[in-house]
Structure 1
Amino acid sequence: MTDGASGGGRPRATELRLRVISALLLAPAVLLATYAGGWPFAIGAALCAAILLQEWVVIVRVNSVISTGIAALALAGAMLAVATGHVQEALGLLLLSAAGLFGAGWLLGMAGLRWLAVGVLYAGLTGVVLVVFRAGEAGFIVILFLFAVVWATDIAAYFAGRRLGGPKLWARVSPKKTWSGALGGFGAAVLVGLVAGLLAGRAPLAVWLVAAGILSVFSQAGDLLESALKRRFGVKDSGRIIPGHGGVMDRVDGLTGAGVLGYLVAVVASGVLSDPVAALLGMQGY
């Protein structure tokens, strides 16, 4: 979600039109890959992760070709591992490569390497977590729910912030985001949880509502994290690959926050890496 997504100023009509057209073109491809699952979805997630890493490298201004190549190889290896069902190995590779890059940056006094290490985790965990969720027992529903919560949060925050304005959410990090936008996004996400609970069943309605609320908060945290990163390095957009939207990171920052943080919570609660959602539901007898 861009800085203008939750308040402050009216974007130009042309920009808004480009956003709508881009979303209409991209959404069907994303949903088709999600429906297919398996390798089509894994390839899509890997491509997304690769672009995220590339944009991260540009933002933090890493100039070392060798270090960037190591990061790219680690990401590729992790995505291949998770696509073939080796979740623990994928996560281990990301952690080891990030630790190595961070350690090298620390010893050599190169801040760029330390930022690159964080980027490996940011991009890699985004891709790995998406594949893990989709490969789960209820993977299709889980991914659709995740997408719906993030998209509803993003869209509602955008329009609620523009229309209502009011106090800033965190002015130092993102001057245009407001509490009205954040609450509007949260409310929309809870509504998604209500609809999902009524349609999907299995777990009680309260579980869907709580999950939607938590994921919405995580989504907005991911958005603020990206805003803080761009402000730290004086960058407006992560890239220009999507007309009207900027870079891929600008579009999936909320998905990264909701997906990665949601996955970590589920893993801690269930003790399972490969399909923590199914494990949690099973523990509760659903």
Structure 2
Amino acid sequence: MSFTVASAASAASSRRPAPEPVGPSDPASNAGASGLPRAGRRSNLILRILSAAVLAPIALAAAYFGGWPFAAFWFAAAALVLWEWLSLTDARSSKFLFPSVAAGLAVAAVIAEWHRPITASLVVLLGVFAVAVFAPSARRRWMMAGVAYAGALLVAPIMLRSDPALGVFAIAFLFGVVWATDILGYFAGRAIGGPKLAPAISPGKTWAGAFGGTCGAVVVAYVGSRYAGIDTDPGALMMVAIVLSVIAQGGDLLESWIKRQFDAKDAGTTIPGHGGVMDRLDGFWAAALVAMLIGILRGGIDAPAQGLLLW
């Protein structure tokens, strides 16, 4: 996943004088929500496909190998999301803020990879408290939220992947649910249109797209339970997929709401056709966090992947 801080810094250039409807980069959008000419929508879709064709194999390879490559992958993603968040919220006033918090995230990644998830989570929490104490009051709450957001994106996937038996299956399941929600929701929204899901937050999203995305997640869960060699209850795993799909769409709406607070269309321009890393991982972040919590509640802190998958 080849990113640079310089390209992420261009997030500020995505500002607009007034909030605009988010078009094809939203999973449950309809065809006309973007306001782009037909050729522009087609070009943007091609960019989305090409970007996904490059990034998806890298993400899958990191998940397959696990270990330090996986931890490094998610540290890079979390650091870029943090940079975009700070750029979006105008919270980069202190030149020491990003490097100090990014260093904390690196420490948390190392500790999480050493199978100390509680300690890693405490490091992230310490970063949130440090920002609360030392950050300027004008953007303090946004800065605290950004550290927590990036920290959750870092710790949750590493915890799920840490199970040597089912970790790779848990990440593959999570990818499948989120990607199916995104892809099926996008095409269902374009093809069917209809009533808006949350017009005040993201006018492009439709109920048809949301339902189509959830159906896609259910199909992924069913196929995975039948053919991945996991001894689990298909019906229960399909219910988990529904929950995670809804949560992923909620994460997408949350990011849309955040961008509207700062009159921005995208969080960045790092990924062609998608916007920033934060735009691409908003649904995954939310789904991974809830998947981790489900796994911990059922399988314990040492086996969240089993708790997520085995029913």
Q: Is the structural similarity TM-score above 0.5?
A: yes
Alignment check: 8 A CA contact 2:181 2:245 kept: yes
Shift of 1:82: 0.6
What does residue 216 of structure 2 align with?
188
What does residue 143 of structure 1 align with?
171
TM-score with structure 1 setting the length: 0.91
Q: d(CA) in 2 for partners of 1:72 and 1:113?
A: 17
Q: d(CA) in 1 for partners of 2:89 and 2:108?
A: 22
Check if 1:40 corresponds to 2:69: yes
What does residue 84 of structure 1 align with?
114
What does residue 305 of structure 2 align with?
277
Q: Deviations over 1:112-158 (max 9, x none)?
A: 22211111111111111111111113001110000000000000111
Q: d(CA) in 2 for partners of 1:189 and 1:278?
A: 19
Q: d(CA) in 2 for partners of 1:280 and 1:71?
A: 30
What does residue 102 of structure 1 align with?
132
Q: d(CA) in 2 for partners of 1:140 and 1:155?
A: 22
Shift of 1:16: 1.0
Q: d(CA) in 2 for partners of 1:248 and 1:117?
A: 19
Instruction: Pick 1 or 2: higher relative contact order, CA cutoff 8 A, min separation 6.
Output: 2
What does residue 7 of structure 1 align with?
29
The change in CA–CA distance for 1:103 and 1:167 in structure 2 (over 3 A counts) is farther
Alignment check: 8 A CA contact 1:3 1:227 kept: no
Among 155, 160, 175, the alignment partner of 1:128 is: 155
Gaps of 5+ in 2: 1-21, 33-37
Check if 1:74 corresponds to 2:96: no
The change in CA–CA distance for 1:36 and 1:102 in structure 2 (over 3 A counts) is same
What does residue 117 of structure 1 align with?
144
Q: d(CA) in 1 for partners of 2:78 and 2:206?
A: 29
The change in CA–CA distance for 1:100 and 1:271 in structure 2 (over 3 A counts) is farther
Share of identical aligned residues, percent? Answer: 41
Alignment check: 8 A CA contact 2:198 2:205 kept: yes
What does residue 208 of structure 1 align with?
237
What does residue 247 of structure 2 align with?
218
Query: Secondary structure at the residue paired with 2:143?
Result: helix
Q: d(CA) in 2 for partners of 1:242 and 1:279?
A: 33
Among 127, 139, 160, the alignment partner of 2:188 is: 160
Q: d(CA) in 2 for partners of 1:81 and 1:24?
A: 31
Q: d(CA) in 1 for partners of 2:292 and 2:120?
A: 14
Query: Secondary structure at the residue paired with 2:130?
Result: helix
Shift of 1:191: 0.8
Shift of 1:3: 4.5
How many residue pairs get matched? Answer: 278
Q: CA RMSD in A?
A: 1.8
What does residue 244 of structure 1 align with?
273
What does residue 235 of structure 1 align with?
264
The change in CA–CA distance for 1:123 and 1:280 in structure 2 (over 3 A counts) is closer
Deviates more, 1:54-63 or 1:77-86: 77-86
Query: Secondary structure at the residue paired with 1:169?
Result: strand
Query: Secondary structure at the residue paired with 1:23?
Result: helix
Q: d(CA) in 1 for partners of 2:309 and 2:183?
A: 29
Letter matched to residue 50 of structure 1? A
Check if 1:55 corresponds to 2:77: no
TM-score with structure 2 setting the length: 0.84
Q: d(CA) in 1 for partners of 2:273 and 2:55?
A: 13
Runs of 4+ in 1 over 6 A off after TM superposition: none
Letter matched to residue 174 of structure 2? L
Check if 1:173 corresponds to 2:195: no
Deviates more, 1:22-31 or 1:250-259: 22-31
Alignment check: 8 A CA contact 1:103 1:114 kept: no
The change in CA–CA distance for 1:67 and 1:113 in structure 2 (over 3 A counts) is farther
